[in-house]
């Protein structure tokens, strides 16, 4: 497999090929996922929950993210590496530039930030400075206290229209990838059709350009619960590499997510 870039993912969208993404936090799993053919790896601030044992992602620091990004980068040859900007690490554009630099210097090829149109100037500034950006709409876990918990977003018409407008604005600002989390499948399709950049869904239906899962959920080893939008691929295979290969296959052929994994 050739080196995956943002241009690769955009071409996949244009050709109707599904993109598979998963989280990783260390070199060993990153290498295994890379060899299995995953298109992109996200070093997610989800590490606060699945590695550190917190109830949410808020305690994760930029130093935590830089450390795990460096670990993952040592295991990857071809897969695109995306690193999360943690809670309050991009409150101002200037702060975002400093913290995104730490992640890029640790081996990331792109940073991910959560939020809507208020991030336009930040995204524009990052891209102008040579830092590719993945945006994130829907259930943005860093805003869990504003939402009142981990709840599906965009179910009413006003919310849905606002999210479509946000997606277009973030694309116009320079975002090259868009994660959509926990939204109705119909909204996932509407946003995917509305933007030229690839969309990656997690609980956003099967019509997004790709899917992402937290590796602990995909392997059935999460210590809390299995989200509705996830599937334990390890139970079907009994082998981690085969589980990831099955995940790639099931996304590629349209079998995952199934009806039981989507929100209406």
Binding site listing for Mg(2+): 45, 84, 114
DSSP string for residues in 141-179: GGGHHHHTSS-----SHHHHHHHHHHHHHHHHHT--EEE
Neighbouring CB atoms inside 10 A of 3's CB total: 11
Binding residues: 45-46, 84, 112, 114
Distance CA 222, CA 154 (A): 27
Spatial contact of 111 and 126, defined as CB atoms under 8 Å apart: yes
181 is catalytic: yes
* CA 256 to chain centroid: 16
Sequence ranges of the binding site for 3-methyl-2-oxobutanoate: 45-46, 84, 112
Among the listed residues 181, 245, 250, 260, the single catalytic one is: 181
> Cα–Cα distance between 83 and 110 in angstroms, integer?
6
Cβ 126 vs Cβ 133: under 8 Å: yes
Residue pair 186/205 in contact (Cβ under 8 Å)? The answer is yes
Cα dihedral 127, 188, 44, 214, rounded to 10, equals -150
Question: Cβ distance 57 to 25 under 8 Å?
Answer: no
Catalytic residue positions, numbered: 181
């Amino acid at each position: 497999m050739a080196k995956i870039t943002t241009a690769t993912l955009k071409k996949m969208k244009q050709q109707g090929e599904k993109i598979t993404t998963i989280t990783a936090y260390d070199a060993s799993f990153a290498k295994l996922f890379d060899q299995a053919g995953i298109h992109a790896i996200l070093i997610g601030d989800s590490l606060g929950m699945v590695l550190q044992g917190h109830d949410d992602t808020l305690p994760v620091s930029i130093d935590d993210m830089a450390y795990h990004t460096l670990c993952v980068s040592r295991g990857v040859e071809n897969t695109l590496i995306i690193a999360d900007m943690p809670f309050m690490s991009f409150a101002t554009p200037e702060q975002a530039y400093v913290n995104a630099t730490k992640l890029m210097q640790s081996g990331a090829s792109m940073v991910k930030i959560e939020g809507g149109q208020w991030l336009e100037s930040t995204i524009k500034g990052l891209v102008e400075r040579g830092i590719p950006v993945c945006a994130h709409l829907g259930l943005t876990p860093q805003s869990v206290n504003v939402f009142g918990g981990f709840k599906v977003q965009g179910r009413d018409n006003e919310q849905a229209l606002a999210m479509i407008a946000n997606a277009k604005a973030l694309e116009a600002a320079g975002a090259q990838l868009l994660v959509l989390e926990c939204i109705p499948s119909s909204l996932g399709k509407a946003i995917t059709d509305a933007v030229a950049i690839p969309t990656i869904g997690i609980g956003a239906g099967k019509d997004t350009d790709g899917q992402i899962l937290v590796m602990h959920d995909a392997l059935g080893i999460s210590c809390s619960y299995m989200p509705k939008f996830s599937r334990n691929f390890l139970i079907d295979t009994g082998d981690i590499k085969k589980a990831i290969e099955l995940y790639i296959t099931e996304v590629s052929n349209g079998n995952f997510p199934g009806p039981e994994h989507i929100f209406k």
